[in-house]
Amino acid sequence: MSAAHASHQSSLRQLFFAWLGLLLLTALSVWIGREFHAQVGLQPLVAAVLWLKSWLVLRFFLEGRSIHIFFRRVLHTFIAITPICLVVFGLWHE
- The overall longest dimension of the chain from CA atoms, in Å, is 50
Residues whose CB falls within 8 Å of the CB of residue 45, separated by 6 or more in sequence, listed in order: 32, 36
What is the closest distance, in whole angstroms, from the C-beta atom of residue 17 to other proteins in the complex?
A: 10
Q: Residue 46, Cβ neighbours under 10 Å: how many? A: 19
Say whether residue 87 binds other proteins (CB under 8 A): no
Contact pattern from residue 36 through residue 55 relative to other proteins, giving x for each residue in contact according to CB under 8 A and a dash for the rest: -xx---xx--x--xx--xx-
Say whether residue 91 binds other proteins (CB under 8 A): no
Say whether residue 84 binds other proteins (CB under 8 A): no
